[in-house]
Amino acid sequence: MTVSIDIGEMAGNARAGMDLEELLATRLLVQGNSGSGKSHLLRRLLEQSTPWVQQAIIDPEGDFVSLAEKYGHVVVDAVGTEKDLQMIAGRVRQHRVSVVLNLEGLDADRQMKAAATFLDGLFDADRDLWYPMLVVVDEAQLFAPAAAGEVSEEARRRSLGAMTNLMCRGRKRGLAGIIATQRLAKLAKNVAAEASNFLMGRTFLDIDMARAADLLGMERRTAETFRNLDRGHFVALGPALSRRPVSVKIGPVETAGRGGTHKLMPLPDQPKEEAKDLIFTRSADEEAPRRVRTPEPVAST
Ligand SMILES: Nc1ncnc2c1ncn2[C@@H]1O[C@H](COP(=O)(O)OP(=O)(O)OP(=O)(O)O)[C@@H](O)[C@H]1O
Ligand SMILES: [Mg+2]
């Protein structure tokens, strides 16, 4: 059965389709700087494909929770133990329920460990449960970072291992990785290299452009055009999309994300003294903050 997902519009009003079966076999990488429209694109893809295929979304910002109401995804808040999360992932495969793994509010270390546990749980399902499933990872550079960062080595190793399994060995198990990143240069190379389909959005930095050109087998000069793309416009290439690079304007979505573009608005008029009171005085109904960041150590000179 061939199912073509309508992702948007190409030049001359032609529809841009994505072959779902081919996508399951060949995976997808989406890249574009912040605000280029990646999460919107993922949402379009998820909404359009929801009747056809089971979905799991690894959601670091809680952006996709709003899919649940309209499309029936179950939201899994990563609050329980790792054992709980692993068991839930197993049941997700057994009962073929679409889910959003909501990692909002967790620190980076816990986000990585929770994503790793959940992905491993999907991956380790018994052979008779290997039904096809889209596994969408937004902000994939958080889970498969190219370089060691401030997180623990254990979190990095586990998360990178789970992402590598998803992209390199997931197909046989029915898992199709769809990963999105703001910065290609920050995403582990072996994870990015396993996708055969690409949707490239607005990209500013030379280092990301160079990585994109390498991945797509393009001249650097051709990849330069990614700099001029408008929000919501992506260059599509790959067996599930198009054999040649084509420009696509991603279509509208049914549910709302949280990533808004912020309109400028005038500041309220306030005498200076009052403004001081507003921020230094605790009001009666105010709660203590949930998370306090540890200040950066000051470098000694
Ligand atoms: N094709 C589109 N049509 C209409 N609006 C769009 C489109 N693409 C993006 N937008 C709007 O632009 C804004 C930014 O898009 P989005 O949140 O998808 O960016 P992003 O690439 O995910 O950014 P970040 O990396 O910061 O998460 C959103 O308000 C979104 O609704
Ligand atoms: Mg986003």
At 266 the three-state DSSP class reads: coil
Query: In this model, does residue 226 exceed pLDDT 70?
Result: yes
Q: Give nearest CA residue, ligand 1 atom 15.
A: 37
Interatomic CA distance for residues 119 and 78, integer angstroms? 12
Q: Which two tokens stand for residue 143?
A: 């889970």
Lowest mean pLDDT among 67-76, 103-112, 145-154, 184-193: 145-154
Structure confidence at residue 273 as a pLDDT band (50, 70, 90)? confident
Question: Which residue, judged by its Cα, is nearest atom 14 of ligand 1?
Answer: 35
- Closest listed residue to residue 111, CA positions, set 90, 133, 138: 138
DSSP for 213-236, please give it.
HHHHT--HHHHGGGGGPPTTEEEE
Task: Note whether 166 and 143 are within 8 A (CB).
Answer: no
Return the structure tokens found at 154.
């254990």
Nearest Cα to Cα of residue 137 among 31, 20, 249? 31
CA of 75 to the centre of ligand 1 (A): 22
Ligand 1 interacting residues, C-beta cut-off 6 A: 32, 34-40, 182, 231-232, 250, 257, 259-261
Q: Which ligand is nearest to the CA of 256?
A: 1
DSSP code for 125: -
Which of 231, 249, 263 is the pocket-test mutation for ligand 1 (most atoms within 8 Å of CB)?
231
The residue to mutate among 6, 40, 139, 255, having the most atoms of ligand 1 within 8 angstroms of its beta carbon, is 40
How would you class 290 by CB atoms within 10 Å of its CB: exposed for 0-12, middle for 13-18, buried for 19 or more?
exposed
232 phi-psi bin (left φ>0, alpha ψ -120 to 50, beta other): left
pLDDT digits (tens, 9 = 90+) for 181-219: 999 999 999 999 999 999 999 999 999 999 999 988 889
Q: Render pLDDT for 120-167 as a digit per residue (tens, 0 to 9).
A: 999 999 999 999 999 999 999 999 999 888 889 999 999 999 999 999
Domains of the chain and any CATH numbers = 7-250 (3.40.50.300)
CA distance 120 to 170: 10
Q: Ligand 1 center to residue 260 CA distance, Å?
A: 7
**For the residues 14-36, what does the mean pLDDT come to?**
96
Q: Whose CA is nearest to atom 25 of ligand 1?
A: 34
Q: Which amino acid is at 291?
A: R
Q: How much is the pLDDT for 261?
A: 63
For residue 300, the model assigns a pLDDT of 47
For residue 203, how far is its CA from the centre of ligand 2 (angstroms)?
A: 14
Q: Which residues neighbour 294 within 8 Å (Cβ) at sequence distance 6 or greater?
A: none
Kindly indicate the confidence band of residue 297, based on its pLDDT and cuts at 50, 70 and 90: low
> 128 C-alpha vs ligand 1 centroid, how far in Å?
38
Q: Looking at the predicted structure, is the pLDDT value of residue 274 above 90? A: no
